[in-house]
Structure 1
Amino acid sequence: MLPTIFRRRSLRALAAALVAPAALAVVTACGAAEAPTTADGRTVLRYQGQTGLVTPYELADELGYFSKISLQWEGDTTSGPANIQAAATKQIEFGSAFNGAVVKLAAGGAPVRSVLSSYGSDDKSFTGYFVRENSGITTARDLIGKKVGVNTLGAHHEFVTREWLHQQGLTEAEIKQVQLIVVPPVNTEEALRSGQIDVGALNSVWRETAVGRGGVRPLFTDTAIFGEFDYGTYVFRTDFIAQNSEAVADFVQGTARATRWLQVTPREEVIAKFTDIITKRGRNENLKLLDYWRSIGIPVPGAVIAEKEIQIWIDWLVRNGELPEGKIAAKDLYTNEYNPYANGTYQPASGPTGEVVAAK
């Protein structure tokens, strides 16, 4: 059994306590059906960020890509499912999570719709599922009765682990014998090396520092299963989209362009821009995480959503008995209509302002 502290600590352990953000200079409350606006008429979008990191929409704001919205930080999140639940319950206007979690939320009756891909995996940014070098674990069947450490249940690490086990030929009964243990990323390497878990899901700084210390090896990676793939999306409530379509359109076009900026801009320029943004927002954050930024991880220009990226997790939930077949359709869970890289505004391979760019 893992110590209780493993369940309580999180990525926030890397940074000092956060200071409260400054309030917007002027925010006028509108009717119950409308979002609040700033003095210059911009719609306010509340959101949860990520400690020590810069999201594409925060970058879009810094680059001046928004003209109709103003972002309002409401704190940070370390869980995709919690983030989109906060959006569904009107604590914030939008959230980001693994597409399987989005499907589960929608299947449970939450009126949400995906509008843009938010993260993925490529050859530079991916999740590896590591074992101790001397563990003797070499196949999926070796995991029966073993423990796999994941950052949260019902999200990327759980779905990918179970999908890999399925693809490797384990039956559903055998897969259920593989125990998933919630371990915050900051503790995963320690738990793996001490034998408290047998497999640890590691990405970004956690993967690179663990590999650098030696003694661990990947059993599989998410890119080995699906190749370069978009795994998560930004979601808004459907009522908010209907009532504030111009604001949502502005969010999507700006964030899509910022994502494209990250796809075509040299890493050194990206890190410099991120450092500037984090320093200016004054939340007393740890800048060391930026040393481990390798790519946005989204392989599709402008983060356009592909239906297969949602359908695959609908199929997974149906196969796993968690969703009745035919209850929801992937096409009803997302839209690309606001994305300039999908609606004809820009050519898919163009840059963040529509210019022709060379491959990075």
Structure 2
Amino acid sequence: MKRRTALSALGAATLAAATLPARAQATTKITFGFTAVTDFASVFVAKEEGYFGKRGLDVEPKFIPLNSTIPAALQSDSLTIGGPTPSVFLQAVDGGLDLVLVAGGGLTAKNITGFGLVARAGSGIKTAQDCVGKKIGVPGLGAFLHVTFRAWLKDQGVDYRKVNFVEAAFPQHADLLRGGSVDAVVSADPFMSRITESGAGYVASYYSTFLPEGNQTIVHAARRDWAEKNPQAVRAFRESLVEAAAFMVQPKNDARVRAAIGKYIKLPPDVLAKVQISPPGPVVTDRQLAYWVGLMKDQDMLKGSPDVARLIAR
């Protein structure tokens, strides 16, 4: 299983750090922003299994409808730490926000088919070429699904500039397809499964399987000034996620992992039982972030060339 394989990538030394006793002298309050995807599972597990608490962190998960709004919420102090996609994070930094990464969320994997291109019933969309001239909803312009879908279109020989992209939050996808407001959406489970089961749409492509494995799908960012003033809290947050990752990859804990996800994403039991969970990747590397820089530069999304080493809190 990919989740079990992902554990080896965390590194023995980092995992060992997760077992150290809590060192925080006082409780640090953290408001954490998440969107409705399973890539945040390690945060949910760390909260429910008490990994944050034993390290002196009081983490309050807060639902954010659109991933692209997370950097602004960090800047305004509405969030202490938030989970933007790597592309949203890099665009925010490129635009002048002084943010750093304190940890990571989920990772890409070839066997993950939990997101893809979902076309409206009767639209006739089957290939990348069929998307030309169509209106396609994405849950955040410049976010993970938007950027990776455009990369797939380009890989298939299609000019993504000839596709009309509109921003639409996950919960709106089914209604937009039914009403004919969009021809397709780039969506993810559990919303994708609900759409197909209702007959409102069908999966035209699990395009995600073309992505390289082991790259971050979600990163956990904070303002640089907060991270520099709270280095112990940054380490404690990351170590909590490392411990949660170790918990997640053990098959015997699957039911508890899914229960933690269901609590925060509010999934019905039948959907929760089937939803795919991305491999956990709590430690972000320079290589992983550099992959996203390259992908975004290829789409003319960055003005500068960010120093990835400076963007990761150590």
Please report the TM-score for the alignment, with normalisation by the length of structure 1: 0.69
Unaligned runs of 5+ in 1: 1-38, 279-284, 338-360
1:320 pairs with one of 289, 299, 303: 299
Superposed displacement of residue 57, structure 1: 2.9
The percentage of counterpart residues that share the same residue type is: 20
Q: Find the partner of 1:117 among 104, 113, 130.
A: 104
Does 1:177 pair with 2:162?
yes
- Whether contact under 8 Å (1:49, 1:73) holds in the other structure is no
Cα offsets for 1:80-106 (capped at 9, x unmatched): 222232123333221111100111111
Q: Displacement of 1:72 after TM fit?
A: 4.8
Give the superposed CA RMSD.
Answer: 3.1
| Candidates 30, 38, 45, aligned match of 2:30 | 45
Whether 1:102 and 2:89 are equivalent positions in the alignment is yes
1: CA distance between counterparts of 2:141 and 2:269? 24
Aligned partner of residue 113 in structure 1, secondary structure: strand
**Aligned counterparts of 1:209 and 1:151: Cα–Cα separation in 2:** 16
User: Partner letter of residue 233 of structure 1?
Assistant: V
Query: Which residue number in structure 1 is paired with residue 137 of structure 2?
Result: 149
Q: 1:273 to 1:166 in 2, by over 3 A?
A: closer
2:104 touches 2:216 (CA, 8 Å); kept in 1?
A: yes
Q: Read off the aligned partner of 1:105 and give its amino acid letter.
A: A
Q: Secondary structure at the match of 2:92?
A: helix
Report the number of matched residues. 285
Contact residue 116 and residue 186 of structure 2 kept, 8 A: yes
1:131 aligns with 2:119: yes
Give, as a single letter, the amino acid of the residue that structure 2 aligns with 1:119.
Answer: G
> Which residue does the alignment assign to 1:297?
278
* Contact 1:47/1:92 (<8 A) preserved: yes
Gaps of 5+ in 2: 1-23
The alignment status of 1:288 with 2:268, answered yes or no, reads yes
Change beyond 3 A, Cα 1:151–1:52: closer
User: Within the alignment, does 1:76 sit opposite 2:47 as a pair?
Assistant: no
CA contact 1:49–1:75 (8 Å) conserved in 2:
yes
Q: Which residue of 2 aligns with 1:332?
A: 310
Quick check: 42-51 or 109-118, which moved more?
42-51
1:191 aligns with one of 152, 167, 176: 176
Deviation string, structure 1 residues 265-316 (Cα, Å, up to 9, x no partner): 44323234556x66xxxxxx9452784363431255xx33243432233223
2:258 pairs with 1:247: no
Residue among 224, 247, 272 paired with 1:238: 224
In the alignment, structure 1 residue 310 sits paired with structure 2 residue 289: yes
Higher relative CO (Cα under 8 Å, sequence separation at least 6) belongs to 2
TM score, norm. by length of structure 2: 0.78
In the alignment, is the contact (CA less than 8 A) between 1:211 and 1:217 conserved in 2?
A: yes
